[in-house]
Structure 1
């Protein structure tokens, strides 16, 4: 029987210390497990839980209780930050995640810069903080993961994304000002999460991929600004997980420069080879979300055991889960880790 609590196990892995086995987690945010099966079983449902702190906390507990994942993850979307920064959001439905319906600015040059002290008291910030505080106090042995939308994705959610991606190349001065502004906001937002009990911060930045930006732009923007955010979070004594979507080949050389404590990757990435190439990296992932949605529990177990044999440090879904993912498949995944 293990002597580690789930919080101790995850923190030890993130600090590069030995444990009995890998943690099995699903951070929340872009990578959340508030699937329909969990909501039906617990009775705490989206979209109302996006804006009700008690329901948000209860849904996080439902995910933890029903899936076997060893963390509590808050919130359940990537729209909290851009909404606070002025963009319009559709909260979606039980089956459909929230989305940006209208970015607040037409270009990087048009962005208005506001004081964060006031902004951090608007939107759903207080909802997230109250829910974080609630679950952290109720479950002291379970790691609470606070989720940030990464700086490039947040910027592309307040500025028309097609224009913003062009600005990264054609209007660098304005684009860097927006990235500085967004990063400083995310640092302040993360500090509030930590003050309210978050043990780990997870950053998902799906727009910041090598496939979209290419290696030069990746190093000029996401690498710089994610590291700025990570360093600020580290200064508060809290570890950071960074998720990178898609094929990482174009930016793989830059991964050791990321100052995150663990790197989470998509399913097409061979994590064993990545560990061989960069032995100091703490790897997280990467059970295919397509497999989790469409395959049998037996195939999920086989894939999970394969990752365990290859020495992956933290087992997790490879990206955002479909809301139609069967709970039995998630339990098969978490069960395969815990049988180790």
Structure 2
């Protein structure tokens, strides 16, 4: 069986037989633009957050140097928050962008702006253009456009402590805000698909069982994730979803998500999850702590275990530290590929 990286990933997501699991890193919260890669190539951040050509070049560098079988863009989780009004610190070569200040103190004060106009703001068009450049130059490699999930996006524009309290106490305005950001996320994702993205990954690190608990996860995370997933499916591409943290409290709801693959943190035993819910396409979940602080031979053993356990897509368990060693990542990808 001779498959291109794009064919292997898309076939896996369609539950077709493949020769081996794809090994990927999706961008966004799972950014693989580590310092080792940038120092080697000279294509650096924070400049690469803004220019489509440099974003595409850096994504290609990551692919070439790490062995990951995809291009993952953008390199942060602040594109949506910036457009929706948050103040952003764009970081440095070694430090990812972060939100400095949210524009709204409460869900009741959120201003609902025109989504079409927001698609022309901030870095939205740059990310879409980078997808276009990558897909045209490398048609055999999947471009994964990464977006923030609805809960995380809402918590990035409303003071997060207040937002989480208001999920309990102010349900109606909370639903309105989540509906609004979900509409924006669908349109942003569709723009990435129009640019050439082969798949979309939704990272929703605030939507964890520990933070929300089962009731709020069921009321808010599931319906709004599914709204975004369904909107992206209507654009014709598959969707991967990453949920952080320990999944025990919300595990029963994971099969109700409409995504094509579920990615989990290193705390989750993916083999057991797959045995309990065999309909799931599983993705993950090699410890990012191991990738930063471990040795290549130990990384290789853990990657081999994931392959042996039948995990469908091999990837880091969460966001990589920018100081992760390139040798550890190469040990991961080479093991999965059988090199």
Q: Which band: TM-score by shorter chain? A: over 0.9
5 Å-filtered alignment, 1:128-139, equals 128-139=127-138
The TM-score with structure 1 as length reference comes to: 0.99
User: C-alpha separation between the residues in 2 aligned to 1:129 and 1:263?
Assistant: 24
- 1:19 corresponds in structure 2 to 18
- 2:271 corresponds in structure 1 to 272
- 1:255 corresponds in structure 2 to 254
- 1:161 corresponds in structure 2 to 160
TM-superposed CA distance for 1:117, in Å, is 1.0
- 1:243 corresponds in structure 2 to 242
Q: Does 1:72 align with 2:66?
A: no
- 2:182 corresponds in structure 1 to 183
TM-superposed CA distance for 1:242, in Å, is 0.1
SS in 1 for 2:155: helix
- 1:198 corresponds in structure 2 to 197
- 1:311 corresponds in structure 2 to 310
Q: Does 1:331 align with 2:318?
A: no
TM-superposed CA distance for 1:275, in Å, is 0.5
5 Å-filtered alignment, 1:23-172, equals 23-172=22-171
User: C-alpha separation between the residues in 2 aligned to 1:277 and 1:19?
Assistant: 22
User: C-alpha separation between the residues in 2 aligned to 1:115 and 1:8?
Assistant: 37
CA deviation profile, 1:24-58 (whole Å, cap 9, x unmatched) = 00000000100000001111001111111111110
- 2:231 corresponds in structure 1 to 232
Q: Flag structure 2 segments of 5+ consecutive residues without an equivalent.
A: none
SS in 1 for 2:324: coil
SS in 2 for 1:10: helix
Deviates more, 1:119-128 or 1:174-183: 119-128
SS in 1 for 2:99: strand
- 1:222 corresponds in structure 2 to 221
User: C-alpha separation between the residues in 1 aligned to 2:176 and 2:259?
Assistant: 23
User: C-alpha separation between the residues in 1 aligned to 2:131 and 2:328?
Assistant: 27
User: C-alpha separation between the residues in 2 aligned to 1:105 and 1:119?
Assistant: 17
User: C-alpha separation between the residues in 2 aligned to 1:71 and 1:87?
Assistant: 30
SS in 1 for 2:156: helix
SS in 2 for 1:158: coil
TM-superposed CA distance for 1:260, in Å, is 0.4
TM-superposed CA distance for 1:281, in Å, is 0.3
The TM-score with structure 2 as length reference comes to: 0.99
TM-superposed CA distance for 1:268, in Å, is 1.1
TM-superposed CA distance for 1:76, in Å, is 0.3
User: C-alpha separation between the residues in 2 aligned to 1:281 and 1:238?
Assistant: 18
